[in-house]
Amino acid sequence: MTTDFATTRAMFHLPEGVIYLDGNSLGPMPRAAAARVARTIEAEWGEMLITGWNKAGWMDLPSRLGDRIARLIGAEPGHVVLGDTLSIKVYQAIASALEMNPSRRVILSDSGNFPSDLYMAEGLCRTLGAGYELRVVAPEAVESAIDDSIAVTMITEVDYRTGRRHDMARLTAKAHQMGALTVWDLAHSAGAVPVDLAGAGADFAVGCTYKYLNSGPGGPAFIYVAPRHAEIARPALSGWLGHDAPFAFEPSYRPARGIERMRVGTPPVLQLAALEAALDIWDMADMADVRARSLALSDQFIAGVEAACPDLALATPRDHAARGSQVSFRHAEGYAIMQALIARGVVGDFRAPDILRFGFTPLFIGADDVARAVAIIAEVMAGRLWDRPEYRLRARVT
Amino acid sequence: MTTDFATTRAMFHLPEGVIYLDGNSLGPMPRAAAARVARTIEAEWGEMLITGWNKAGWMDLPSRLGDRIARLIGAEPGHVVLGDTLSIKVYQAIASALEMNPSRRVILSDSGNFPSDLYMAEGLCRTLGAGYELRVVAPEAVESAIDDSIAVTMITEVDYRTGRRHDMARLTAKAHQMGALTVWDLAHSAGAVPVDLAGAGADFAVGCTYKYLNSGPGGPAFIYVAPRHAEIARPALSGWLGHDAPFAFEPSYRPARGIERMRVGTPPVLQLAALEAALDIWDMADMADVRARSLALSDQFIAGVEAACPDLALATPRDHAARGSQVSFRHAEGYAIMQALIARGVVGDFRAPDILRFGFTPLFIGADDVARAVAIIAEVMAGRLWDRPEYRLRARVT
């Protein structure tokens, strides 16, 4: 398959005058999304009522769409399921892994991980008691910190602030060598970089769909369990839709076969319908093409910004292998600078304390967008256009 | 407020020829739902992109809509929040309660509880280890089983099969007298019967919105924590949106103030938008009026069915105080009978092993509907019209 980016771009709606470099935070709207969701509401919910669970296939959406995501992350078909939020899926994955490695008590993560992963692990350790511990090291110290005390590593492949990418195959191999299991968070990987879960031998993986995958605000998360663990892993959050016979209403839990056991409650059908519209676009994309274009766009961006803005310090690794699909720069006035950029139509985001973050999403961003964004950034920096009180007012940002 | 049921009925879409007595499983579609969700998709997600979290108020939806549900369940404003699924909210509530009652190890529930609640509690006990136990007794034995070994009771007020209603005030008082905390599941109560959480002194409550509250397939759940516990309860599932400063991205979890700490991950904005359309109808309803009409409709139904169908055995208590807003009958051929009824436009549902369940939802069901439903049931039973092979074929049912 060769990806036709002009076609994919035309399938998204982008507001007039906006260069959207924040698809790594919330992807833009597929043009088909509203009609797809309206169909689910009116023709399915409205007309089929309760029978929609079978007739409209709502019940199977989490696995059916999971299979379409599996292709993008190198997962074996039948081993990815959607539901809940990323935080919940992180919890299920690490809890399952800990139970599978009962002689150890340590979850290893790094300080570049997204805080919610750390908070969920903290909560799990608190619930487990008995000496369970979350150990957080610097990202560059992860490899050496994987020793024979580690039960499970909980690592986000691409750092949400810097865009630094861990070497999944290498860290997974080290973990296995030391008798640890791995949980990979693909929040900034799925749809951003080619991922090869099966090839890397990953044990568990989780991710969200509202960033690069464009499912819309609050879209569901996904979870992957390696086929070799599929009948062993026990989901700590054992809900009825993860039961082997949910409609038998048995008094005790029996895990469903394989990945289905990672389902918990009733799936969010409207959010899944929006995701389906987005996956219709993703079905036309080859991750190798996406990656090649992402690197070209981000290289162009780095070169342009560095040439024009000496005050902005690159926070993202230059090495292609060591970065995801975003470029971050540091500046002490990063917050105000980002507000000035947003006011001029260049939408990235700010991450405390000093990170300006720009996402490159080839399905709808091209070289012309990057050139225009660079010109606006150069203008804002050269003229200190960010140095105005209203840009310093901190509203809550996402 | 006097509820104008002709107006509320006109605000729902009901398919031609259907008498929908299954609003207790999946409520029907508010006519405004599709347009409301389309606006969220096109005018908010499409145009505001990431800024929708603040500009469109997405971030506050879980509390804002929580307050509108609070009125229906007798909760203090500011103490209900939406998110996740009911199973997840059950887990948070019982985990919090167990941590608040550390010298005890027993979760008490009853065999009439919805299985997912039991499964989630089983999973939690497995994770906690250390002698934690889920004790399940018969519904009628709950009161006497509340002794000084019980850490927390986990009880669904209205039985999903029989419609039998527990006495919330009485059981809560008994629990408190014995030093136990209470978690009330309001899945079949919210929007079905007047609930007075504050008056009963309930500690925690949880519920779903896709049944009587009409939020659509996969709509989010809600959780209530009594104000006296709001700053004490620790959510075992401690995600970033339950953090006191989510956008400070601190390395460690600090619970947000009050009910906000029960949030976990990114809220499902499209599902919340559909819920908002439903709450616009609920805002016009007084629960006392809803209850009066629900009892009148269900009394009419019981009298009609019992007069015409001697083979159907009432499974729901006759006593008004002891029932919710559904009526169930038992019959060994219940599955086939329900298929025959659905084929004739009377939509209820079947719950194994032998329950025919009919929900009465005054916002859109009236006395004429009940009279027509009774006539059709009478015809199906008198003529044994259910006795056909195609009605015995078991598809997966919800």
- Residue B237 near residue B91, CB atoms below 8 Å: yes
> B33-282: same fold as B5-31+286-392?
no
Q: Does pLDDT of B183 surpass 80?
A: yes
Q: Show which residues of A are catalytic.
A: 114, 185, 210-211, 357
Rounded-to-integer distance, Cα A198 and Cα A169, Å: 10
Rounded-to-integer distance, Cα B201 and Cα A173, Å: 54
Of A87, A237, A248, the CB nearest to B120: A237
Task: Tell me the pLDDT tens digit for each residue of B310-337.
Answer: 999 999 999 999 999 999 999 999 999 9
Q: Does pLDDT of B396 surpass 70?
A: no
Residue ranges per domain, chain A? 5-31+286-392, 33-282
Of B221, B240, B351, the CB nearest to A87: B240
What average pLDDT score do residues A66-76 get? 98
Q: Does pLDDT of B390 surpass 50?
A: yes
A270 to B269: CB separation less than 8 angstroms, yes or no: no
- 3.30.70.420, 3.20.20.70, 3.90.1150.10, 3.90.245.10: CATH of A5-31+286-392: 3.90.1150.10
Task: Tell me the pLDDT tens digit for each residue of A77-90.
Answer: 999 999 999 999 99
Q: Does pLDDT of B395 surpass 70?
A: no
A-chain residue closest to B114, CA distance: A249
**B396 contacts on A by Cβ (under 8 Å):** 53-54, 59, 247
What average pLDDT score do residues B142-168 get? 97
pLDDT at residue number B1? 83
Task: Tell me the pLDDT tens digit for each residue of B24-78.
Answer: 999 999 999 999 999 999 999 999 999 999 999 999 999 999 999 999 999 999 9
Rounded-to-integer distance, Cα B319 and Cα B164, Å: 9
pLDDT at residue number A398? 44
**A208 contacts on B by Cβ (under 8 Å):** 266
| E strand intervals along chain A | 12-13, 19-20, 29-30, 80-83, 106-110, 133-137, 150-156, 181-185, 204-208, 221-225, 313-314, 326-330, 346-347, 349-351, 355-359
List C-alpha distances in Å: A30 to A23, B190, B241, B377. 12, 35, 26, 46
pLDDT at residue number B189? 98
B123 to A221: CB separation less than 8 angstroms, yes or no: no
Query: Which H or E run includes A378?
Result: helix A367-382
B61 touches chain A (CB under 8 A): no
Q: Provide the mean pLDDT of chain B.
A: 97
Of A15, A234, A271, the CB nearest to B271: A271
Band (B394; pLDDT cuts 50, 70, 90): confident
Class of domain A33-282: alpha beta
Number of residues that this document lists for chain B:
398
pLDDT at residue number B397? 46
**B28 contacts on A by Cβ (under 8 Å):** 45-46, 49
Q: Does pLDDT of A322 surpass 80?
A: yes
Band (A27; pLDDT cuts 50, 70, 90): very high
Rounded-to-integer distance, Cα A264 and Cα B119, Å: 10
Query: Which H or E run includes B106?
Result: strand B106-110
Q: Does pLDDT of B220 surpass 90?
A: yes
Interface of A with B in 162-191 (CB under 8 A): none
B-chain residue closest to A253, CA distance: B119
* ipTM score of complex: 0.97
What average pLDDT score do residues A149-176 get? 97
The bridge status of strand B106-110 relative to strand B133-137 is parallel
Q: Show which residues of B are catalytic.
A: 114, 185, 210-211, 357
B120 to A239: CB separation less than 8 angstroms, yes or no: yes
Interface of A with B in 83-112 (CB under 8 A): 84-88, 91, 95, 111
pLDDT at residue number B250? 93
**B353 contacts on A by Cβ (under 8 Å):** none
Q: Does pLDDT of B84 surpass 50?
A: yes
Count CA atoms within 13 Å of residue B362 on its CB side. Answer: 24
**B29 contacts on A by Cβ (under 8 Å):** 41-42, 45-46
Binding-site residues of B for pyridoxal 5'-phosphate sit at: 86-87, 114-117, 156, 185, 188, 210, 240, 266
pLDDT at residue number B291? 98
Q: What percent of chain B has pLDDT over 70?
A: 99
pLDDT at residue number B16? 95
Band (A394; pLDDT cuts 50, 70, 90): confident
Q: Does pLDDT of A395 surpass 70?
A: no
The bridge status of strand B133-137 relative to strand B80-83 is unpaired
Q: Does pLDDT of A308 surpass 80?
A: yes
- Residue B21 near residue B302, CB atoms below 8 Å: no
| Cβ neighbours of residue B310 closer than 8 Å, sequence gap 6 or more | none
A218 touches chain B (CB under 8 A): yes
